[in-house]
Amino acid sequence: MLSGCALLIDYVLTITLSVASGAEAVFSFVPHEWRFLQIWFAVAGVLVLILLNLRGVKESVKVLMPVFLLFVVTHVFILLYAFAAHVMNFPSVAAGVVNDVNGAGAELGLFGLLLLILRSYSMGAGTYTGIEAVSNGVPILMEPKVQTAKRTMRYMAFSLIFMVLGLMVAYLLFGVVPHEGKTLNAVLFENVTQGWGPYGYYFVVVALVSEAALLFVAAQTGFVDGPRVLANMALDRWFPTRFANLSDRLVTYNGILIMGVSSLVLMVLSGGSVQALIALYSITVFLTFFLSQAGMVRYWWKSRSIVKNWDRRFLINGLGMVLTFFILVSMVFIKFNEGGWLTIVITAALVVFVSSVRKHYDNTTQLVAKLDNAIHVTDSSGREAITGVVRNSGDGILDSDAKTAVILVSGFNGVGVSTLSSIFRSFGGVFKNFIFVEVGVIDAGVFKGELEVQNLQKKVRSEVDHYVNFMRQMGYYSEGVELVGLDVVDEIAKAVPDLLSRFPNSVLFGGQIILPKSRLLSDWLHNYTLFALQSKLYYTGAPFVMVPIKVE
């Protein structure tokens, strides 16, 4: 739960920091008097990304991919050119680095030098965003998923080694020093292209614009993986369960808006300051890394009797755990007064919120369990019975013109059984046909492969058959409709016209749980699918009866 909260904040900061860094890169080559527009440019960038992602992830990537390729071409070219132009200076640069390290070691001591290196390392925490995004996205990668993820991580590692090490060496070769209002890359490109005439200026502009575009691509991580983390936490009921659904109506749309609006708020509050945002970002990143590494250490230790070479893996993750913990503690102390305290406050507030959500769902589950305990009832002959259901004197033959009850169920549970009992108590023997409709929702827990979807279909069929077989034993005509999809409302709305054409005298029924105390939090945490469905079917003329089921 704590790691999930930190990840959500991390992804919001990924969007904010990436766009702010992109804005800083663009405004490195504009006149100083225009700098006041940088924050508005960053805000506009977040808004554009929100709109692109609302259209779809694939569409947004198509727009950004060509500019990303332009970044690769320009930056690889400038690095290779820098190396070739100053290849003879490598020995002197290497000697200068050695002297600087020795000087720093003599002044700060070995421990101080180590702290300096670790602090610099932690400031580059944003580099890891793409790596953990691959880990989070394994379930949706192409088969074989694990091999695809490993190959992707290797590509990323080699490209990062080349790009980061290449830029650092190029800074040394060209004597790059910080310049107010410009990024180090902007200073480097200007130094490299100094003798190129007007073409040099155009090259710098193109390179920096492509760099900004790359950072906009990096911001996509927050829009893609943020809603996914929301869905995973919703499966465990740390967030409203509606976020576990993968439908556009609930998760994709709302998740993008949540991530985007939160990013806008942070952008305005921080004034688009990259330094301030890095302080916030580094703490949440390394909190997540530490927890994940600690989890792997625990896993390898528990699996030491069944996993070969567990000790090597244990040591690798143990080293990662110690390193990330040290950096986490260092960042909290170093950056506490620079905004680090705000990260702690925001994370703590989110933890309190999700804990309240989980407590509410646990209490609701206990109440609903009382209904489930009343399912299995037997009559005097030992057969299964449902309170209030009266045996039909007929032979259960289909009469499509007879009154038909179409009952929406979510499994063979207390809610469905109570709904069926209420129909008989309220309408007696009016209905001769009973149609049970259930939708298996493909949520974040199911969307992991074809086998999970097949298991979901079997489960839905089994639950519906339980109702159907019972009603047939009671002398009524009954059949089941099993549906599988991303959204309950959409799937049922598509199935209703066919049911009404087959059974013109149909009435739809759905059981709605009434909690003892209706509060604002309760109203938001429960998606009230039946109300949404009733609203959608209103103009079709389909009779819809909502059966209130009060739990005490």
Largest CA-CA distance found in the chain, in angstroms, rounded: 102
Q: pTM here? A: 0.71
Give the integer Cα–Cα distance in Å for 349 and 339: 16
Q: What is the structure's pLDDT at 123?
A: 67
pLDDT of residue 381: 47
Closest to 227 in 3D by CA, of 250, 208, 205: 250
* Residue 144 neighbours by CB distance under 10 Å: 10
405 near 460, Cβ under 8 Å? no
Q: How confident is the model at residue 374 (pLDDT cuts 50, 70, 90)?
A: low
- Indicate whether 247 pLDDT > 60: no
Amino acid at 377: V
CA distances from residue 441 to 247, 411, 416, 492 in whole angstroms, order as listed: 9, 12, 17, 12
In angstroms, rounded to a whole number, what is the distance separating the alpha carbons of residues 176 and 179?
A: 9
Q: How far is CA 363 from the centre of its chain?
A: 26
pLDDT in tens, 71-123: 888 989 999 998 898 888 888 888 988 998 899 889 989 888 888 887 777 66
Question: What domains are defined for the chain?
Answer: 2-86+124-357 (1.20.1740.10), 374-550 (3.40.50.620)
Structure tokens at 236: 């465990």
* pLDDT value at 527 more than 70: no
DSSP element (H, E) containing 406: strand 404-409
Mean pLDDT, rounded, for 444-470: 80
Report yes or no: 157 and 134 within 8 Å, Cβ to Cβ. no
d(CA 479, CA 471): 9
* pLDDT at res. 379: 46
What 3-state DSSP class applies to 138?
helix
Q: Report d(CA 96, CA 110) in Å as an integer.
A: 19
Q: How far apart are CA 525 and CA 357, in angstroms?
A: 8
Residue type, 430: V
Q: Residue 319 has what pLDDT?
A: 93
Q: Is the dihedral of CA 262, 266, 272, 277 positive or negative?
A: negative
Match 């009952």 to its residue by tokens.
407
Percent of the chain exceeding pLDDT 70 equals 86
Nearest to 468 by CA among 425, 436, 510: 436
Cα 7 to Cα 3, 93, 291, 358: the distances in Å are: 6, 40, 11, 18
What share of the chain in percent tops pLDDT 90? 16
Residue position matching structure tokens 């465990």: 236
**288 backbone dihedrals φ, ψ, rounded to 5°:** -65, -45
At residue 430's C-alpha, the angle toward residues 425 and 433, to 5°, is 105
Q: How far is Cα 123 from Cα 67, in angstroms, rounded to an integer?
A: 26
- Alpha-helical (H) ranges within 176-252 are 184-192, 198-235
Average pLDDT over residues 479-486: 86
β 506-514/544-550 pair status: parallel
Mean pLDDT of 261-289: 84
Q: Is the pLDDT assigned to residue 181 strictly greater than 90? A: no
Query: Distance between CA atoms of 413 and 329, rounded to whole angstroms?
Result: 49
Q: Could you read off the pLDDT of 202-225 as tens digits, one per residue?
A: 888 888 888 887 777 778 878 878
> Whole-number mean pLDDT of the chain?
82
Q: How far apart are the first and last CA of the chain?
A: 30
- Grade residue 248 by pLDDT with cuts at 50, 70 and 90: very low
- The CA distance from 99 to 44, in Å, is 46
Alpha carbon 92 to its chain's center? 49
Q: At what angle do helices 184-192 and 57-85 cross, to 10 degrees?
A: 50
* Alpha carbons 460 and 508: distance in angstroms, whole number: 19
Q: Give the span between the Cα atoms of 488 and 287, in whole angstroms.
A: 37
- Nearest to residue 444, comparing CAs of 253, 292, 227, 254? 227
Q: What is each CA distance from 199 to 84, 132, 194, 206, 454, in whole angstroms?
A: 19, 39, 10, 11, 60
Pairing relation of β-strands 384-385 and 377-378?
Answer: antiparallel
Cβ atoms of 190 and 204 within 8 Å: the answer is: yes
Q: Is 144 helix (H, G, I), strand (E, B) or coil?
A: coil
Q: Which helix (H) or strand (E) holds 120?
A: helix 90-123
Contact (Cβ atoms closer than 8 angstroms) between residue 28 and residue 186: yes
